[in-house]
Structure 1
Amino acid sequence: MFMSISTTGTAESPATDLGFLLHKHPGKVQRFGTSHGEAHVFYPEAGDELCTAALLLDIDPIALVRRGRGKGRGGSPDFALAQYVNDRPYAVSSLLAVALRTVFRSAMKGVCEARPGLAERPRPLRIALPAVPANGSGEGGGPAMVARLFEPLGWQVEAVAIPLDEEFPEWGESRYVRVELSCAAVRLADALQQLYVLLPVLDGAKHYWVAPDEVDKLLAAGEGWLADHPERALIARRYLSRRWSLTRTAMERLELARLAEADDREVEEIDNAVDDTDGSEPGAAHPAGAEPAEPAGPTEETAPGAAPKQPPLAEQRRTAILAALREVGAARVADLGCGQGELIGALLKDARITEVLGVDVSARALAAAARKLRLERMPERQAARVKLVQGALTYTDARLKGFDAAVLCEVIEHLDVPRLPALEYAVLGAARPSAVVVTTPNAEYNVRWESLPAGHVRHADHRFEWDRAQFRAWAERVARTYGYTVVIRPVGPEDPEVGPPTQLALFRVGTPAEPTVPTAGSTVSTDPEAAGGGTVAAGTTAPARTTPEGGEPR
């Protein structure tokens, strides 16, 4: 089993710096013991312009057999003589990946004490792997799989299938591929980490039992690149030997990392865009730092004798949510998409609420919530009532089970429409609290924001905004699907033409539905197939009303 790593150099950075990076002297042949044989490191060429380091792994087939086989072991063909006739001593596999970690441990960590800073400097690399098994097992193997795995990481891939027998080409191609990877600028540590993960993925098997700690190894080696890889599901599945429970855990943690890292905005912008302070127009509709325009119509300043000014819309939402929770008698509440904890603070003021779980995908938002709630200074009995955890609402989570009520306050519009069914199942299907409170903007009311362009959504992060008929159709479909009843209520001042600025759905298990009255001007069918048709991408000028082409989010 053999691989080589080559780099070119300049007068300022000679190629022989590779020896410092690998912590292996170019003038020596070094030998290392492994659990299944010996590893040899040597340099076929070592000059200022070109330097090549080779790793030769000499596998002892007897030692491999003596260690036994089980699920996730060996990876050799499953036939009677497999322990005597197999490719493990020759084909690149998890054996080489483990040898990389053993022999080049410091290089994989990006440590170079002899030349501080050298490990952080990208340099040209070329990696040669003469015989790589790339068995697709129905997932598209061969050279195409090599390209799918390495090209998104910036590698130029030369992959050629090796024939079963060069003298008899009509026999076809084998499952082995000759691979050369090249990159103009990459950190050696990154390259080794990627090889450590992707070589077993190509092989599709491991020589040792795949235990739960393999998830931690995968995520540690994949830090910084795996969460955004387009084939991350394939990588996790094959790296973990198709053990579904481990794969699911890995994907949940990768999703958390991807969503949290993608959100590089200020914490104040993460809070689901629900904390507008003046009840008028959300901040996304006007330039940063500008004062939002007041809604059209009479105001305290323009209409003599007008009613007192309404409290901020965010406060009205919280008041409506608290009223719904009191109505259902909820004592244990999960705030899903809690942001900076505004609702949690209000919940803790109610002595009837004995436990609050705040969940958000953003670690920054949770840290801001902890500061805002002053958890560190909170009395012990009060602090015991609240817990903040990181989680993705599109995945089932055992921590969400057993609550009297769950709240999705201005959350659903931040999800892409195709992901809504996953959230529906995770919350109402799997967690299944006794009650669920959902609030979301009413798209019809947007015309009352004078400075909001027609067809625009209220916040740049909103993936869609529904009118009253669309929201009702969605809520009724979800209630039927998961065995809930639902009532729709207005939140905020109700305009006779376009309704309230916010709409609330209260889902309850095992209670008769309250009579509902069609909203003014709503002629759209409440059939679930109509829900979701009025989605509007953030920043577009598409109409917010239902169109004939619209369909249910799936």
Structure 2
Amino acid sequence: MLLTLSLQSDPENNINATDLSYLLHKHPDRTHSFSLSHNTAHVFYPQYDEDQCQVALLLEVDAIGLVRTFRGPMSSKQLTHYLNDRPYTANSFMSVALARAFRSAMGGRSKERKELVDCKLPLTVHIPVLPCRGGQPVLEKLFSPLGYHITAEPIALDNQFSEWDHSHYYQVTLKNKCRLVDLLSHLYVLMPVLDNDKHYWVSADEIEKLLLRGGEWLAQHPAKEFISLRYLKHKKHYAQIALAALAPEQIDAEEKADQAEAELEKPQTLNQQRQQKVIDTLLAHQVQSILDLGCGEGKLMKLLASHTQFKSIVGVDVSSQALDRASSRLRLEYWSERQQHRIQLWHGSAFYSDTRWTSFDAICCIEMIEHMDEDRLEAFIENVFNIAQPKLVIITTPNQEYNVVFGLTETQRRHNDHRFEWTRAEFTTWCQCIVDNYDYQVTLEGIGENNSTFGHPTQMAVFTSST
């Protein structure tokens, strides 16, 4: 099994062909060998001069050893375990060898030529035998969007029997001007995809490998669904997790499109207007980290997640059942471990101080305070405005005066769990007390349809730190 990688000199851009050896961390004067599981990889330089540098990765596969250590049922030990193309074609074995032999290069590291790590180089890859299950169209489908010039020559099944036509193997040359780390990542992911198979069992850990090697380019690839499914051996659930992690802002794209269409056909609900107003305020103040206090089922958090400006979004709620529903709504299990740091759910109460709250730019309390007993609001105020001290606090609450517009009597409340509902004057007085005692300024706004007599159905206070 063979793969060669070449770099041509480019004097205009001050690129010397011999720089390839520095980027690969492999000295050209000797052969480098690596022991892998049932394989041995060799790295050597067939050509090394000022005009062109070519490095070869030769992989020896112990096909018999693979069969002898096979741990599946005896009935699965068929003739194909002994007679197959594994030792001869570039497949998942070659991907493993690439990652082992060129580990530093794939990690984007170079001690001697740091300035070339992010430089686009005129690189050429030649693979004498590459399986392309689906033919040349699949090869072009995978590599053309990444900017490669492709030369592919089909290999006959048998030159003595022309009627057998060609096999699904090709002799392939790929040329591209790109970073070396990108080219190696493309090969690592796409060779098993072309083969449509892997030599090892695919578990959930394989999702992380795909995200690690494909995270920077796969999200924009037009065939990302096809690539993810094949790379993960057609395990649809794994592919869905990978796709969600690659582009979390695109989760439920169809659902969002349906919602957008519905919004064109009917007015926004009060809750939608409230959430949009909060998001617009957060964006305007250029906050990056948000604590959603009393997050409930995570409706606001799901909308916040679609905005890349928000680098950290944490929801806090006293109800573990609500947090479970929020986790399901946000589909946190579909996110990679690295991306899950961006959105988190914490169990907690507004009445108890938490030192973790001090690290956020903004705290949102959306339709929450009316669920508290009024005599406990002081603890909430102390925790938010004195201990946490974010630069921005947004609080929304119902306007009691507007209830008559909804057909409620003066004694009725909008929700059975509301402990109180304030008039505009009462909310203004409460907010002014906070300003008088803490280093904050406040702006009051209304949300929803304005009634000339009763005002807006929702009232919002935006507190900004004076320090």
User: Which of the residues 31, 52, 55 maps onto 1:53?
Assistant: 55
Change (3 A) 1:103 1:209: same
User: Which SS does the other structure have where 1:364 is aligned?
Assistant: coil
Cα deviations across residues 21-61 of structure 1 (Å, max 9, x unaligned)? 11111121121111122111111110111111000001111
Matched, 1:40 2:75: no
Contact 2:249–2:307 under 8 Å retained in 1: no
Query: 1:210 offset after TM fit, Å?
Result: 0.2
Distance 2:203 2:41 in 1: 25
Contact 1:23–1:106 under 8 Å retained in 2: yes
User: Which of the residues 141, 149, 154 maps onto 2:142?
Assistant: 149
Change (3 A) 1:383 1:80: closer
User: Which SS does the other structure have where 2:114 is aligned?
Assistant: coil
Q: What residue in structure 2 maps to residue 535 of structure 1? A: none
Query: 1:67 offset after TM fit, Å?
Result: 3.2
CA RMSD of aligned residues (A): 4.4
Distance 1:161 1:354 in 2: 58
Structure 1 portions without partners, runs of 5+: 72-77, 136-140, 261-271, 274-312, 323-334, 400-490, 495-554
Query: 1:177 offset after TM fit, Å?
Result: 1.3
Query: 1:168 offset after TM fit, Å?
Result: 2.1
Distance 1:252 1:388 in 2: 18
Identity %: 36
Q: What residue in structure 2 maps to residue 364 of structure 1? A: 308
User: Which of the residues 22, 25, 28 maps onto 1:26?
Assistant: 28
Matched, 1:158 2:178: no
Matched, 1:250 2:191: no
Contact 2:244–2:250 under 8 Å retained in 1: no
Cα deviations across residues 262-317 of structure 1 (Å, max 9, x unaligned)? xxxxxxxxxx99xxxxxxxxxxxxxxxxxxxxxxxxxxxxxxxxxxxxxxx99x93
Distance 1:252 1:88 in 2: 32
Distance 1:386 1:255 in 2: 23
User: Which SS does the other structure have where 1:151 is aligned?
Assistant: helix
When normalised by structure 2's length, the TM-score is 0.59
Alignment coverage as a number of residue pairs: 318
User: Which of the residues 188, 194, 206 maps onto 1:202?
Assistant: 194
Contact 1:126–1:182 under 8 Å retained in 2: yes
Q: What residue in structure 2 maps to residue 302 of structure 1? A: none
Distance 1:341 1:9 in 2: 53
Change (3 A) 1:108 1:337: farther
Contact 2:305–2:313 under 8 Å retained in 1: no
User: Which SS does the other structure have where 1:160 is aligned?
Assistant: strand
Alignment of 1:334-353 (within 5 A): 339=279
Q: What residue in structure 2 maps to residue 168 of structure 1? A: 161
User: Which SS does the other structure have where 1:252 is aligned?
Assistant: helix
Q: What residue in structure 2 maps to residue 98 of structure 1? A: 96
Distance 1:224 1:354 in 2: 31
User: Which SS does the other structure have where 1:224 is aligned?
Assistant: coil
Distance 2:277 2:186 in 1: 33
Q: What residue in structure 2 maps to residue 492 of structure 1? A: 449
User: Which SS does the other structure have where 2:81 is aligned?
Assistant: coil
Distance 1:363 1:387 in 2: 23
Cα deviations across residues 223-279 of structure 1 (Å, max 9, x unaligned)? 21101111101100000001122112112222316689xxxxxxxxxxx99xxxxxx
Contact 1:215–1:240 under 8 Å retained in 2: yes
Contact 2:240–2:334 under 8 Å retained in 1: no
Q: What residue in structure 2 maps to residue 4 of structure 1? A: 4
Query: 1:338 offset after TM fit, Å?
Result: 7.7
User: Which of the residues 166, 170, 175 maps onto 1:182?
Assistant: 175
Q: What residue in structure 2 maps to residue 317 of structure 1? A: 270
Change (3 A) 1:110 1:70: farther
Q: Which amino acid aligns with 2:6?
A: S
Change (3 A) 1:134 1:44: same
Matched, 1:68 2:70: yes
User: Which of the residues 119, 122, 145 maps onto 2:120?
Assistant: 122
Query: 1:178 offset after TM fit, Å?
Result: 1.2
Q: Which amino acid aligns with 1:34?
A: L
Q: Which amino acid aligns with 2:37?
A: S
Contact 1:256–1:391 under 8 Å retained in 2: no
Q: Which amino acid aligns with 2:308?
A: R
Distance 2:123 2:145 in 1: 16
Alignment of 1:170-319 (within 5 A): 170-183=163-176, 185-256=177-248, 317-318=270-271
Distance 1:197 1:66 in 2: 28
Contact 2:244–2:251 under 8 Å retained in 1: no
Alignment of 1:424-503 (within 5 A): 492=449
Q: Which amino acid aligns with 1:355?
A: G
